[in-house]
Amino acid sequence: MTRSVDINQPTNHAMSALEWAMLLALTGLWGVSFFFNGVAVKELPTFTVVVSRIALAAVILYALSRAMGHKIPHSRQLWTAFFAMGLLNNVLPFSLIVWGQSHIGSGLASILNATTPLFTVVIAHWFTPDERMTPGRLAGVIFGLAGVAVMIGSDALGILGMAVLAQCACLGAAISYGFAGVYGRRFRAMGLTPLTTATGQVVASSVILVPVMMFVDQPWTLPMPSFAAISALCAVAILSTVLAYILYFRILATAGATNLLLVTFLMPVCAIVLGVLFLDEILLLKHLAGMALIGLGLIAIDGRPWRHLRAVKEGPV
């Protein structure tokens, strides 16, 4: 699942073999989260799935922070930022994606989630002084939105069925991640370690969502979930949240934000393969065509292929 990227992070050197290995591992961990969600939502309601993931991750990250000697400050300003970041980066997108996966396949949800950088560049243009829209980025946004239109298709012009609403929910999650990417830039100035930031936001997210789950889902009235559903919840919390956050911030610190965007290119492949093999999902031709257009948009935003071609054309100086 695509997370917020600190767009103030400097750009970026060629990655080492270790960094590539971590990037591929992160791709798998976030890609497989859609599969785990797909297993869990067959038996459990939205907020129960999301809270199980976030609360368990919060406990593990907090224990890890204490074990490593990272103390979370208690200032009101900092916790206000944690709650805002948790809302944008966890509460809203996780809830929208999990609800969306109750009505559409995990592969399609992952493709729509891959639009996060498209929305991020638009949001950053309007809300930051140093991330302006360029012709390449504008072309990327146009290609990406065209891909979304192709995937949703003419269904959106008729009655708003659950499938269309579910796809819109996944797009809403991508927009929320975009705002989180811009908002999260402030944590660098606060002098916090990446682990402290991750811990603070998942703890704040748990505080927000636990009362919502208790009121809406009333989990004590639900039947006991199967071993498969419980295993999926534990896996999405430990693998796709705790371990993924650790890798995410490690890559961000050593390889930079631009290299980290490669996750967005690769993550849907993992989710699609798992969905087709284990959840009997089927992707239509329009979904593949939309994914191709979104991929072109991400390539235009990233810009590295064009820079490489220009360097080859110009030759050595």
Q: Please check whether residue 8 lies inside any domain of the structure.
A: no
Band of pLDDT at residue 37, cut at 50, 70 and 90: very high
* Range 20-42 average pLDDT: 91
pLDDT tens, 128-179?
776 777 787 788 888 888 888 888 776 555 555 788 899 999 999 999 988 8
How confident is the model at residue 290, as a pLDDT?
A: 86
pLDDT by residue (tens digit) across 204-240? 999 999 999 999 999 999 999 999 999 999 999 999 9
| Domain span at 246 | 17-314
Which distant-in-sequence residues (6+ apart) come within 8 Å of 308 by Cβ?
A: none
**10, part of any domain:** no
* Domain-embedded: residue 169: yes
Assigned domain for 5 exists: no
Give a yes or no: residue 222 inside a domain. Answer: yes
In a domain, 179, yes or no: yes
Give how many domains the chain has, as a whole number. Answer: 1
The answer to whether position 261 is within a domain reads: yes
pLDDT at 257 over 70: no
> Is the whole model's pTM more than 0.75, yes or no?
yes
Predicted local distance difference test score (pLDDT) of residue 217: 95
| Residue 244 is assigned to a structural domain of this protein | yes
pLDDT tops 70 at residue 258: no
